Chains A and B, each alone.
Chain A
Amino acid sequence: MAIAEISPLTDTSLDLLELRHRRRESALHQLVQSAFEHQAVRHPALLETLLLRRERLGSTALGRSHAVTGAWSWCVRAPLVLLGVSSKGLEWDADVGIEVALVALVLTPGESVEELHFRRMEAVTGALRLQRQRQRLLDHRDLPTLSLLLRELPR
């Protein structure tokens, strides 16, 4: 009997990228452009506007070192979680002087129910809550570490 070794399928709903800029608006732009390249977004400019409006409603920085933002929108084609890592630190909330090193963008398509988006947001905020988890991501900066951390993420 032949035994075939089947490699696991690549998880296309997660990605990790290095953020080049220091400003929040530029970081969000880079994250949305990356989502657009993943073909997970249909109107990147509108999605960016939505994320900036969300920031005006209340900062998405959680604590002093990371931010988790997201959108449940018809502008999103496919579920995707992007994690941006900044070596230099991002000026997320300039008014209160908050700098973050990790930014997660949680995208849920409009055709999904809102409950799923909340559960995805809860999974990501929960996974990044502990300092040691965030430090592990900053140390490794690879997809397997991110996949392991977000293994409970509803898809």
Chain B
Amino acid sequence: MSAVEGFLELHDLDVLLAQARDDARRGRLRRMGYTLGPAPALVRERERLAGKLDRRWLNLYERSLGRYGRGLSAVRNRVCLGCRLTLPTSAAPPPGEAQLHVCEGCGRLLLWD
């Protein structure tokens, strides 16, 4: 698994955990007819996954997660979809390569489309 995929998975897990922990989200899901079980198993999975990721990138991810509620953002046409900053051409990874980058505007990890 590449570093990009690792952070994507972590981000999805964080969204799921937020749904499981937040009363407003749980209530909304309950009204739709869902019953959510306890989240400790997901917390353990998150710890296991985070342990495999580079500490430096993880710190940046968690800082953005705490600040904005999401630590990852996609890039489309060189625009960060988190803060709408146009990124320099030099920031783009070579075609076909997936590399981690940080948005200069908001500090989120970037997923280049």
Listed in ascending order, the chain A residues whose CB lies under 8 Å from chain B are: 42-43, 46, 49-50, 53-54, 56-60, 62-63, 68, 71-75, 77, 110-111, 114, 118, 121-122, 125, 129
Q: Are A71 and B12 touching (Cβ within 8 A)?
A: yes
Q: What is the predominant secondary structure among interface residues of chain A facing chain B?
A: mixed
- B residues with CB within 8 A of A: 5, 8-9, 11-13, 15-16, 19-20, 25, 28, 32-37, 39, 41-42, 45, 70, 72-74, 76, 81, 111, 113
Flag if A73 contacts B15 (CB, 8 Å): yes
* Given known A53-B16, A74-B72, A118-B28, contact A58–B37 (CB-CB < 8 A): yes
Contact of B74 among A46, A60, A68, A110 (CB under 8 A): A110
| Residues in B whose Cβ lies below 8 Å from that of A63 | 33
Distance in Å: Cβ of B20 to nearest Cβ of chain A: 6
Please name the residue on chain B nearest to A69 by beta carbon: B34
* A57 CB, min distance to chain B CBs, angstroms: 6
Please name 11 pairs of A and B residues whose Cβ atoms are closer than 8 Å in the assembled complex, sorted by A. Answer: A42-B113, A56-B41, A57-B19, A57-B20, A59-B35, A73-B8, A73-B11, A114-B15, A118-B28, A125-B32, A129-B33
The answer to whether A122 and B8 touch across the interface, beta carbons within 8 angstroms, is no
Known contacts A57-B37, A57-B42, A50 near B32 by CB under 8 Å: no
Docked pose: A72 CA to B15 CA in angstroms: 8
In the complex the two chains form, is B12's CB within 8 Å of A46's CB? yes
Please state if A54 and B16 are interface contacts (CB–CB under 8 Å): yes
CA distance A81 to B81 in the complex (A): 23
Residues of B within 8 A of A56 (CB): 37, 41-42
- Known contacts A74-B74, A74-B111, A110-B74; is A57 also within 8 Å of B39 by CB? yes
Cα(A54)–Cα(B13), bound, Å: 9
A62, A73, A129: which contacts B34 (Cβ < 8 A)?
A62
Cα-based distance from A73 to B39 in the complex (angstroms): 19
User: Shortest beta-carbon distance, B31 to chain A, in Å?
Assistant: 8
B16 in complex: contacting residue of A46, A50, A122, CB < 8 Å: A50
In the complex, chain A residues whose CB is within 8 Å of the CB of B13 = 50, 53
Asked whether B11 lies within 8 Å of A74 as measured between CB atoms, the reply is yes
Chain B hits for A110, CB < 8 A: 11, 70, 72, 74, 81
